[in-house]
Amino acid sequence: MNLSDSFAGVTVCDLSQGVAGPHATMLFAQFGANVIKIEPPDGDWGRLLGDQYGEHCIHSWYYNLGKRSVTLDLKGETGREKLRALIETSDVFVESFRPGVAKRLGFSYEAVRSLRPDIIYASVSGFGQTGPNSTRGTVDALMQGFSGMMVMNRSPDGIPRRQNMVAVDVVTGLYLHVAIAAALVRRRDSGEGTYLDISMMQAAAAFQGAKIAEYAATGGEGKLFYAPVGLLPTSDGAVSVSCRLQDHFVSLCERLQLKHVADEPRFKNAQQRVEHNAELMTILGKASAEHSTDVLLRELHVAGVFAEKVQSYGDWLTDSHVDATNAFHWVEAEGIGQLPLTHIPGLGTHREASPRIGEHTSEVLHGIEAPMQ
């Protein structure tokens, strides 16, 4: 089933910048919405995240796929008047200014609703529109620290670690997309618009909801679900194993010539293995390092043990299963070259073009419909 036209007929007026808001609106574009990206004359600051390729970086290329770009100077009345005209024909309005900025520009929820009474208005920010931190600027790395994510992801020696990607931004975009989609369904049934206050803080907490609840229930001493689980080194890389079942643990020990370990009292049952996980992983790791990745994986798979190679993105792109399941395809990105476009789950046709700054200003402002392919 091809869902790429699911939001056909929906127009999104997207003033968001960076990654969180643009991710949500990119998803709407991929599922068929007409997404008009409103940028200042010098472009969305998200175009400057990393190496530059003309008017794009890789993040701005990806998170703006399928949109049309219009440049407006909202500091002047001419730009604001053009935006008002666009709002009148829009179903969704998304902004990511710091709290209070949209109101100063004349585009608060009340002002936008006066132009389009049933508008879905979404404000995406770091800490939300209210509260003592609401006016603080923040970015993904700071929110990973604030939310507990870095402590949850700490290294074995206890040092908090940051996820080396904009994880909170990305997940905020997912939650924002879901909330807007739900508001559109509600409007279809009730005819009423909605105001949405979506923050990175809320999204990071929702993403870690079970871990936060576990912390409260255990006094901060959350334990592994089972053991052994995690990385084991090999002679040429590493594998990740997960042995929830007793049979899997015994089979793993047998394949590593450690059958006696499975019989030791400290590793005899699941609870004991969790209590002595560090010792167990050290013993298993010394043995696994004597095996090559491919040979060890083959033996573990034959034995029914859950295990996979620890791969880089380069490994993933050349993986036979990835290829067989059509998990991505190569596209020609203007000004960049060939890039892999990972496929959005459930989507059929992908919209592959990402706009230059203001590329569609004239045609959009003149009401020309020209959906990107």
Q: Which residues are catalytic?
A: 169
Count of Cβ atoms closer than 10 Å to residue 142 Cβ = 15
d(CA 307, CA 322): 17
d(CA 307, CA 30): 34
Among residues 287, 182, 281, 268, the alpha carbon closest in space to that of 241 is found at 281
Q: Is residue 176 a contact partner of residue 170, using CB atoms and an 8 Å limit? A: no
Mapping DSSP to helix (H, G, I), strand (E, B) and coil, where does residue 71 land? Answer: strand
β-pairing verdict for 92-95 and 11-14: parallel
Mapping DSSP to helix (H, G, I), strand (E, B) and coil, where does residue 331 land? Answer: strand
Q: List Cβ neighbours of 146 (8 Å cut-off, separation of 6 or more).
A: 138, 201, 204
d(CA 328, CA 341): 5
Count of Cβ atoms closer than 10 Å to residue 197 Cβ = 17
Q: Is residue 122 a contact partner of residue 176, using CB atoms and an 8 Å limit? A: yes
Q: Is residue 171 a contact partner of residue 200, using CB atoms and an 8 Å limit? A: no
Q: Is residue 183 a contact partner of residue 194, using CB atoms and an 8 Å limit? A: yes
Residue 227's identity, in one-letter code, is: A
Q: Which long-range contacts (CB under 8 A, 24 or more apart) does 315-324 make?
A: none
Q: Is residue 79 a contact partner of residue 365, using CB atoms and an 8 Å limit? A: no
Among residues 12, 211, 212, 31, the alpha carbon closest in space to that of 124 is found at 12
CA neighbours closer than 13 Å in the CB half-sphere of residue 300: 24
d(CA 72, CA 75): 9
d(CA 298, CA 308): 10
